[in-house]
Amino acid sequence: MTMIKTLIVYAHLLAACVAVGVLLVQDMALAKTRGKSLSADVINDLVKAANLVSIALVVLWVSGLALVLVGYMEDPQQYLQNEKLWAKFTVVMILTLNGIALHYFSFPRVISAHGLLGQPSLTQVLVVLTGAISSVSWLFSCYLGIARPWNYTANYGFVMAIYGLVLVGAFIVAGEVLRSMRKTMDFSCSLNE
């Protein structure tokens, strides 16, 4: 059983590394566009990245559920009492639902001919917020995967409060980035007049 658990953990870790690595690279590439319309090459790269992250997310769900099953089989009385585990499931569920919003709402607007800054203000805000939720949720769920000292010691409310605080910080940063992009766009438009 130990060998199987080790292989599942390895698959889980690889999928997380692939997903986070791809997301961070694509976030940097999108930041360089400053909200303007994207080239066909950038759009093609984003589509490939989205597909890769979707596959990684499926692998993470399957391997994560397998790890829970193995953990439960090893200690059925205690394993599900770990509140950090439930917080991780909550964050991964938020990450998954947000991923659906990214795929069907944000992504089409970012790759549109108008780019992010060509969208209505509310749409711009929603797009950057879904991006912030994505980044925080991926990184925080990875952190929870290695936060062994929180096993059976940190309660659900504490873990989710930390997650909420990090999200609020990310929302503030995302809002400032959007404001900066708008200001740059306004400045370049005034130069062209």
Whole-number pLDDT of residue 35: 67
Whole-number pLDDT of residue 158: 97
Whole-number pLDDT of residue 187: 47
Per-10-residue mean pLDDT of the chain, 193 residues long, equals 88 92 83 75 85 92 94 90 95 95 89 85 93 95 94 96 97 90 62 49
Whole-number pLDDT of residue 191: 46
Whole-number pLDDT of residue 133: 96
CA distance 71 to 44: 40
